Amino acid sequence: VLIHTVPTCRMSKALHVGTVWINTYRAYSYMVPFGGMKRSGLGRESGIEAVNEYLETKSVIISIAEAAPGNPFIMR
């Protein structure tokens, strides 16, 4: 995208694309995620978004109480 005024940059929010270069081309950093939108690409390469593709969330709950808890399925 080539522009002459900074406020014109707002239009980049409306574009449904993975990367928008404004007044430059092929500027790149390994920290910036790369990938398509919709059906033009699945997932992301580079950046934290790429790492998140390999992660699964696990919840771990630990009690430090000395007494054993009661039955959690009994309505009180």
How much is the pTM? Answer: 0.41
40 or 66, higher pLDDT: 66
- For residue 34, give every residue at least 6 positions away whose Cβ sits within 8 Å of its Cβ, in sequence order, or none: 18, 19, 28, 44, 45, 46, 47
> Is residue 43 very low, low, confident or very high in pLDDT (cuts 50, 70, 90)?
low
Mean pLDDT of 11-40: 72
Residues 6+ apart with CB under 8 A from 59: none
